Every structure is written in structure tokens, then in C-alpha cells.
């Protein structure tokens, strides 16, 4: 999901985060199943999409009521155990065995009444934490949602690529999977509305969205709460309270976390010095940058570049 920059003024925070973190669908799987079946999968540091192309299935998560999914529905999963099943009361078996071994990306179990696809979104150099803690662990985008039109188009194209099985299909399917993830996040955010809690809801809020966009557009800028409040068109106290309520951390804590996440990504790529990364992250002192980096990640910036 290495997203290219547009020529418009301002930076889209979602594109910025996905691009900096190196988010990409690195594995795509397909399940064809009939009869009774249930398969469980453990929580890992990844974002996962599951889409139903034919038939229906149940999505099971510990501590939550089962969720019914039918053809055209898509869900995104964060750090959570989950299971897929033909019926909600079936005891699942470990589903990882279905996809063991190289090239084992298609599982066929008892028929093809239900056909689903999945994709694992991984992040470069273990940079998953910033995004995963901003997103819900489960995001359902039903085919009836207001943003489902683009998703339906992508699923149709993905199905066509599977059925055609022709040259170039692998790269086309990979790019379509990347697009599906972004469209699903967009649709979920739109369905939740601008008053929804969390980072996605804040991005769509006209006031908080302006402040978030400004931070991402000039990450090294001399930001203060008062200056960000001015961008949002709010009083300092109201902005700070609303930002913290919606996103779960104060504005400058969010900015610091993003600065350090960007810095670690740059250091792990190995294409910049510690001093230049510190400047680009908004730190005038390399010592202050190193101390903040160590507090957050438990290692010095120089150790990160050496690793």
C-alpha cells in the first residue's frame, strides 16, 4: 500500500499512516466450504480482511455475539482471536492447518456453498502498533452500507481475476486487495459518521480532521495545543477535551507518537542518519529525540539502525 502523493495541498492522514507504516496485503487466502464447518485463527499483529463472495458464514469472536455475514459483506479484524463457521454453535478447530505449506492459499472443505476470501495486511519492520491501536478490533462493512458500491466493484474484479487465472493475475489481485482494505476502512468510517468515537471518526470530523491533517502535513512543525485549536476553529480547552475524548489521547501525545513512529520507520529503512531523522521528526536536540525514542521503544535510535 505504498500510496503516491497527490498534488493537492495537505496530507491525507490515512494515506500518510498506511504509506509510512508500509501497509500491504502480503497473503491472500480463499475458503470454499460446504456442510458443517468451523475454523479458528489466533490474534496476531496484523490487520485482516474477510469477504464473503458466495453463500454465508458466521464470524465468531471471544466475548461477543456471533456476527452473520452474507455475500458482499466484508469485515476487518485487528488484534483479536476469531473463527469463521457455517453455524454459530459449532466448536471450531484450528484453521491454520488449512493453509500450511508453500502455496497453500486455497482451502476446500466439503463443497463450495460458501466461498470467502481473506487477506493479511502486514506492516514494514514491526510498525503495526500505531495503526492497530487506533482502529477497532472488528469492523463490519455490510453490502447494504452507504460506501459498499466501491467495495462491490472491487470484489467483482477480484472474483473475475480468480476465475480468469491468466497472466498478470497475481499482481492485479494483490493491488485489488490493497484497494479493498482502503475502501473498507473508508466505508466503515463513513457508516460510523463524524460523531463516531476513535481515530476514523475524528478524521471525518470537520474540525478535528483539519487539525489531524495539519499535523500530518507538517509533522515537524512547532505545534502547540493553542495553535492546533486555531486550525480546528475551537477554543483551546474545547479542542483538547474533544480530541482526547474521541481519539483517547491528548493532541500532543498523538503527535509525539506519530513523530516517533515515523522516525523508527526511517531508521529501520536505513536511509537516513539519526541526526536527520531527529530533525524531520521535529526535535531540535538529538539528545531529546534519543531519550523520547528510548522511552517509547525501549532501545536507542542508533541501536535501531544497527539492528
* Residues 76-128 pLDDT 10s: 999 999 999 999 999 999 999 999 877 788 999 999 999 999 999 988 766 78
Share in percent of the chain as helix, strand, coil (round to 5): 45, 20, 35
CA distances from residue 202 to 17, 197, 248, 261, 293 in whole angstroms, order as listed: 15, 7, 11, 20, 26
Distance CA 234, CA 237 (A): 8
- Closest by Cα among 216, 194, 192, 196 to 204: 194
Distance CA 126, CA 299 (A): 14
Residue 4, C-alpha cell as written in the block:
503516491
Number of domains in the chain: 2
Whether residues 50 and 186 fall in one domain: yes
How far does Cα 234 stand from its chain's mean position?
29
DSSP lists the bridge partners of residue 109 as 33
What residues in the chain have per-residue pLDDT under 70? 1-11, 125-126, 192-197, 306-307
In a domain, 5, yes or no: no
In a domain, 208, yes or no: yes
* Residues 239-265 pLDDT 10s: 999 999 999 999 999 999 999 999 999
Whether residues 185 and 205 fall in one domain: no
Distance CA 56, CA 69 (A): 6
Q: Is 195 left (phi over 0), alpha (psi -120 to 50) or beta?
A: alpha
pLDDT at 16 (0 to 100): 92
Residue 280, C-alpha cell as written in the block:
524531520
Distance CA 229, CA 212 (A): 11
- Closest by Cα among 159, 156, 170, 127 to 264: 127
Whether residues 40 and 188 fall in one domain: yes
Whether residues 148 and 251 fall in one domain: no
Question: Is residue 203 a contact partner of residue 209, using CB atoms and an 8 Å limit?
Answer: yes
| Letter string b/e over residues 138-159, b meaning 16 or more CB atoms within 10 A of that residue's CB | ebbbbbebebbeebeebbebbb
Q: Does residue 286 sit in helix, strand or coil?
A: helix
In a domain, 7, yes or no: no
End-to-end CA distance of the chain: 24
Residue that finishes a domain, picked among 158, 192, 226:
192
Whether residues 256 and 108 fall in one domain: no
In a domain, 233, yes or no: yes
- Closest by Cα among 151, 144, 149 to 185: 151
pLDDT at 307 (0 to 100): 54
Residue that finishes a domain, picked among 146, 165, 192:
192
pLDDT at 271 (0 to 100): 76
For residue 96, what are the domain limits? 13-192
Whether residues 282 and 152 fall in one domain: no
pLDDT at 166 (0 to 100): 79
Whether residues 302 and 212 fall in one domain: yes
Residue that finishes a domain, picked among 192, 212, 237:
192
Whether residues 173 and 259 fall in one domain: no
pLDDT at 100 (0 to 100): 86
E strand or H helix at 173: helix 169-192
pLDDT at 4 (0 to 100): 38
Q: Does residue 264 sit in helix, strand or coil?
A: helix
Q: What is the DSSP secondary-structure string of 138-171?
A: EEEE-TTSTTHHHHHHHHHHHHHHHHH--TTHHH
Amino acid at each position: 500500500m505504498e500510496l503516491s502523493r497527490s498534488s493537492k495541498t495537505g496530507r491525507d492522514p490515512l494515506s500518510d499512516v498506511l504509506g509510512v507504516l508500509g501497509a500491504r496485503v502480503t497473503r491472500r487466502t480463499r475458503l470454499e466450504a460446504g456442510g458443517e464447518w468451523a475454523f479458528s485463527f489466533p490474534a496476531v499483529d496484523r490487520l485482516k480482511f474477510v469477504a464473503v463472495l458466495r453463500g454465508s458464514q458466521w464470524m465468531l469472536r471471544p466475548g461477543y455475539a456471533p456476527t452473520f455475514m452474507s455475500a458482499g459483506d466484508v469485515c476487518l479484524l485487528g488484534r483479536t482471536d476469531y473463527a469463521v463457521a457455517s453455524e454459530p454453535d459449532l466448536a471450531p478447530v484450528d484453521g491454520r492447518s488449512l493453509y500450511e505449506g508453500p502455496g497453500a492459499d486455497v482451502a476446500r472443505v466439503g463443497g463450495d456453498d460458501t466461498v470467502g476470501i481473506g487477506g493479511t495486511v502486514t506492516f514494514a519492520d514491526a510498525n503495526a502498533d500505531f495503526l492497530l491501536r487506533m482502529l477497532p478490533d472488528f469492523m463490519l462493512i455490510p453490502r447494504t452500507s452507504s460506501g459498499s458500491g466501491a467495495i462491490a466493484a472491487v470484489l467483482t474484479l477480484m472474483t473475475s481475476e480468480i476465475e480468469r487465472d491468466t497472466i498478470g493475475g497475481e499482481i492485479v489481485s494483490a493491488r485489488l486487495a490493497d484497494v479493498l482494505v482502503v475502501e473498507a476502512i473508508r466505508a466503515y468510517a463513513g457508516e460510523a459518521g463524524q460523531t463516531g468515537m476513535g481515530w476514523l471518526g475524528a478524521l471525518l470530523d470537520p474540525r478535528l480532521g483539519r487539525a489531524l491533517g495539519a499535523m500530518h502535513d507538517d509533522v515537524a512543525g512547532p505545534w502547540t495545543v493553542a495553535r492546533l485549536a486555531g486550525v480546528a476553529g475551537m477554543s483551546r480547552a474545547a479542542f483538547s477535551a474533544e480530541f482526547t475524548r474521541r481519539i483517547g489521547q491528548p493532541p500532543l501525545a498523538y503527535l509525539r507518537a506519530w513523530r516517533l513512529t515515523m522516525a523508527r520507520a526511517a531508521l529501520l529503512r536505513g536511509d537516513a542518519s539519526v541526526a536527520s531523522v531527529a530533525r524531520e521528526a521535529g526535535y531540535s536536540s538529538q539528545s531529546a529525540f534519543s531519550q523520547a525514542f528510548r522511552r517509547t521503544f525501549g532501545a536507542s535510535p542508533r541501536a535501531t539502525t544497527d539492528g
